[in-house]
Amino acid sequence: MNQPAGPLSGLRVIEFSGIGPGPHVAMLLADLGAEVVRIDRPGTQVSNPVVERARHRLALDLKSEAGKAQVRDAVASADVLIEGFRPGVMERLGLGPEELLALNPRLVYARMTGWGQDGPLAHAAGHDINYIAITGALAAVGKPGETATPPQNLVGDFGGGSMYCAFGIMAALYEREKSGKGQVVDAAIVDGATSLMSFFFGVRHAPHLSTARGQGMLGGAAHFYRCFTCADGKEISLGAIEPQFYAEMLSLAGAPEELAQGQMNPANWDDYADKLATLFRTKSQAEWCALLEGSDACFAPVLELDEAREHPHMKARGAYLEHEGAWHTAPAPRFSRTPGSVRSSADDGADVVGRWQAGA
């Protein structure tokens, strides 16, 4: 594995293997230079080479005393621990925060779960769709008269989960600089998803921003904030909220003049949407891109993943990188002096822990 670079270079992280947001947290830290030792069960294979990149892998039997001893050895020299088991699992293994913080008082012990460490549902099984369901986020997504549409697992696992966990880790590390002490980060997806809904919770009585399906401006009810199908069956997106952007969109697209009046009147939205739908079906996606992309019409084509990689703007930004013959998403965010990097994984976790213990 090539040497880590980035603003987190020198940070030592222990990751207990799992699925969903936990590995994504470790990827974010590793991309920015952290040295991550991933503890796997014996025989575990890489399931996602993108999310599991840049790891030093170490296979341990956590039910054995030898395996637990190796974990404690690693933790003694680590800065951060990430685990995503149900509440109580790490405690039953003798690797809970009380034991490990006693061993290493500077440790930031990050616990990534769906329901959180306590509460009536804490020990129940669940997935992204369940976690965002009870926060009000899922109810807002979909078409009126139909059941809610799961937005992949972006809102829960990654938006409300891994991003908040990573933010919590950084906050705890910052506080450690003042106190010299580590602490437990309880990163629950239900908490993060609730926080993501803060804007809508604050404006929940504003009719234009309702989260009720088929009513809110940002939920696809407005004709100027939705997707349309083109002549070739491909789609485009519009987000022309502000009057000046709306006017530019209408002008460049050659829309009927009547659409210029009453933009913000919900009574017009369905009729105006039908007129725009008819208009956008007259040209292909590429033709609409030639007319609208790069303008202030708040326009973008709706692309599949492989198409996104080839989009000129995404290519110019280097949003996707080729590494050892495979395509990866680029580290984010960007840094002016200490950029992150995509690195390979290696089965050298034991060697890395040994180096940590030696003070190297």
Active-site residue set: 127, 157
The two beta strands, 183-188 and 227-229, are unpaired
Give helix 266-280 / helix 243-253 axis angle, nearest 10°: 30
Rg (the chain; Cα; Å): 24
66-70's contacts with Cβ under 8 Å and 24+ in sequence apart are 68/93, 68/94, 68/95, 70/350, 70/353
Give the HSE-up count for residue 337: Cα atoms under 13 Å, Cβ half-sphere.
Answer: 3
**Rounded CA separation 58/146 (Å):** 47
**Rounded CA separation 94/100 (Å):** 9
**Rounded CA separation 237/254 (Å):** 16
The two beta strands, 12-16 and 80-83, are parallel
Residue 222, C-beta contacts closer than 8 angstroms, at least 6 positions apart: 266, 269, 273
Could you tell me how many residues make up the chain?
A: 360
- CB count in 10 Å sphere of residue 255: 18
Sign, Cα dihedral of 59, 63, 64, 65: positive
Contact 84, 18 (CB under 8 A): yes
